[in-house]
């Protein structure tokens, strides 16, 4: 895999992690519901949908070749979105 495909894969993984954190924030009430069955079903659907979208996108980019640095990129994107959300929430509460 050439360097251009690796960079595109990293950017896609980062953006996926960022958007996944946003989606978890939007579906917070369903994921952390008091009813266990609602919590289980919504979590299962969310994870299956997210994994399917990620691998469809990865297949379009580089035939779904998966490397460890893509996992790191997803985690960094997720963490960055979480930090941004916390900063926005702190400013909003002032």
Return the DSSP state at 63: T
Show the domain range for 10: 1-63
Residue 84: its pLDDT value, please?
A: 93
Q: What token pair was written down for 31?
A: 């994921």
Report if residue 46 sits inside a domain.
yes
33 CB burial (10 A radius; 0-12, 13-18, 19+): middle
Report if residue 72 sits inside a domain.
no
Report if residue 25 sits inside a domain.
yes
Report if residue 93 sits inside a domain.
no
> CA 54, CA 63: separation in Å to the nearest integer?
12
Report if residue 12 sits inside a domain.
yes
Phi-psi region of 33 (alpha: psi -120 to 50; beta: other; left: phi over 0): beta
Residue 34: its pLDDT value, please?
A: 85
* pLDDT tier at 16, thresholds 50, 70, 90: very high
Report if residue 57 sits inside a domain.
yes
Q: For the chain, how many structural domains are there in total?
A: 1
**3-class DSSP assignment, residue 45:** helix
Output the pTM of the full model.
0.85
């Amino acid at each position: 895999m050439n360097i251009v495909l690796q960079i595109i894969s990293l950017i896609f993984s980062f953006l996926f992690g960022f958007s996944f954190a946003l989606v978890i924030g939007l579906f917070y009430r369903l994921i952390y519901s008091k009813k266990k069955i609602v919590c289980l079903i919504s979590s299962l659907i969310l994870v299956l949908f997210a994994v399917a979208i990620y691998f469809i996108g990865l297949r379009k980019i580089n035939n779904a070749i998966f490397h460890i640095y893509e996992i790191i990129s997803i985690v960094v994107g997720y963490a960055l979105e979480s930090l941004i959300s916390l900063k926005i929430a702190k400013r909003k509460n002032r």
